[in-house]
């Protein structure tokens, strides 16, 4: 029984071996290879020198009608004259309303008179001082001067100058003070006159404005220019950086419909809560220019070491980039950054010119 079992197993083994002989021999050896990373697996960007510009972006809305609100710049003054009505066409610089200018003009005339008198007194004192000094020279000019005479002349002149010093200082202080007060009064008078900042139409006028009292926070009139094409921004932080003589690019629309147009600063005398830019391009798509963005350069660094902005990463307050070493292995490198521009970042330390970082 046991022998028959063994013979059956041997026959099965022979059959299996014969079946295997009919197939090609298979090499089942496993070869292990070390994985390497090619530089082509990363997009590299150079470390170069260039100009980094730090922008401030203004979000602007387009309006075909420019309207400005007008305010007096003086408080608690009686409005005595209103020269326009709602709907009137006015020209830039035209006087629209004024406060009680008679009292202000009287005050200015009095200050001018006082300043003239103080100025005259100062000139007379200086002329008198010069005369007394000349007289002292004359008294010692008739005889040959000895050292004793020179000392006496010097002492006498010093005494003369000392006797004038207090009067001269007081009068000079009076002239300076009156000059400041007169300038302030003239500026105050100017603030008591409401002028049209541009050509346009009066769209709003405070009711019963005449014989009312001014309040610097209260709108008393509005003026619009129906022919103007303006981009308006409320980002007034950019005002100190805007060059009135420069034309700027405004980017409007999105994706394939994105367009660039030229604009120029407009009506700077009325900048306060808003900033205005005039559209310079005569041909434009009205469906695209409803809004746009203007980049104003607030700071610039020239010929500095820099890299692509997309290559710089942050870890807390520290910044770093990725490099490839000689073996093609990626490693982290901390850097000190300076200005951050739209496309570039200034690198102050941590990298050398001519190298590459991973974008």
Averaged pLDDT for residues 150-154 = 85
Structure tokens at 49: 């020198």
The span from the CA of 113 to the CA of 121, in Å, is: 12
**Which residues share a beta bridge with 70?**
221
Span 284-329, pLDDT tens digits: 888 888 899 999 999 999 999 999 999 999 988 999 999 998 888 9
Top pLDDT among 30 and 248 is at 248
- Asked whether the beta carbons of 201 and 89 are under 8 A apart, the reply is yes
Burial 227-249 (b: 16+ CB within 10 A, else e): ebbbbbbeeeebeeebeeeeebe
Please give the helix or strand (H or E) that residue 279 lies within, else none: strand 275-279
Span 244-272, pLDDT tens digits: 999 999 999 998 889 999 999 988 888 88
Residue 128: other Cβ atoms inside 10 A: 13
The tally of CA atoms less than 13 A away on the side-chain side of residue 104 is 20
- Whether residue 137 is predicted with pLDDT greater than 50 in this model: the reply is yes
Whole-prediction pTM: 0.46
DSSP for 21-74 reads TTSPP---PPPP------GGGS-EEE-EEEEEEEEEEEEEEEESSEEEEE--SS
Phi/psi of residue 156, each to 5°?
-65, -40
- Distance from the Cα of residue 302 to its chain's centroid: 18
- Kindly state the percentage of the chain with pLDDT values over 70: 88
Top pLDDT among 97 and 3 is at 97
Q: What average pLDDT is seen over the chain?
A: 85
- Which pLDDT belongs to residue 104? 79
Rg (CA), the chain: 43
Averaged pLDDT for residues 217-221 = 93
Please give the helix or strand (H or E) that residue 322 lies within, else none: strand 318-324
Top pLDDT among 132 and 270 is at 132
CA distances from 133 to 90, 123, 166, 251 (A): 62, 15, 17, 73
Averaged pLDDT for residues 18-23 = 49
Span 222-238, pLDDT tens digits: 998 877 778 999 999 99
Top pLDDT among 214 and 143 is at 214
Averaged pLDDT for residues 111-124 = 93
3-state SS record for 221-266: EEEEECCCCEEEECCHHHHHHCCCCCCEEEEECCHHHCEEEEEEEE
């Amino acid at each position: 029984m046991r022998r028959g079992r063994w013979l059956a197993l041997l026959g099965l083994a022979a059959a299996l071996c014969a079946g295997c002989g009919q197939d090609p021999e298979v090499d089942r050896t496993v070869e292990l290879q070390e994985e390497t990373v090619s530089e082509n697996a990363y997009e590299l960007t150079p470390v170069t020198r260039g100009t980094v510009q730090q922008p401030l972006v203004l979000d602007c809305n387009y309006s075909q009608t420019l309207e400005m609100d007008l305010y007096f710049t003086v408080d608690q003054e009686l409005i005595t004259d209103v020269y326009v009505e709602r709907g009137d066409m006015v020209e830039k610089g035209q006087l629209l309303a004024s406060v009680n200018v008679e009292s202000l003009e009287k005050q200015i005339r009095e200050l001018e008179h006082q300043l003239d008198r103080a100025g005259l007194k100062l000139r007379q004192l200086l002329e008198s001082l010069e005369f007394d000094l000349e007289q002292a020279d004359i008294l010692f000019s008739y005889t040959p001067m000895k050292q004793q005479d020179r000392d006496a002349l010097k002492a006498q002149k010093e005494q003369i100058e000392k006797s004038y010093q207090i009067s001269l200082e007081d009068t000079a202080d009076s002239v300076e003070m009156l000059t400041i007060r007169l300038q302030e009064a003239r500026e105050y008078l100017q603030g008591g006159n409401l002028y049209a900042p541009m050509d346009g139409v009066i769209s709003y006028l405070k009711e019963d404005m005449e014989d009312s009292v001014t309040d610097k926070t209260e709108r008393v009139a509005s003026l619009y220019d129906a022919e103007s094409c303006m981009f308006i921004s409320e980002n007034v932080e950019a005002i100190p950086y805007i060059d009135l003589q420069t034309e700027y690019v405004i980017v409007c629309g999105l994706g394939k419909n994105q367009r660039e147009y030229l604009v120029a600063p407009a009506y700077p005398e009325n900048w306060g809560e808003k900033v205005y830019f005039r559209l310079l391009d005569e041909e434009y798509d009205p469906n695209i220019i409803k809004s746009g963005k203007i980049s104003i350069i607030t700071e610039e660094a020239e010929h500095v070491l820099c890299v692509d902005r997309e290559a710089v990463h942050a870890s807390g307050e520290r910044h770093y980039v990725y490099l490839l070493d000689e073996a093609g292995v990626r490693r982290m490198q901390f850097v000190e950054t300076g200005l951050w521009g739209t496309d570039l970042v200034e690198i102050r330390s941590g990298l050398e010119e001519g190298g590459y970082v991973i974008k």
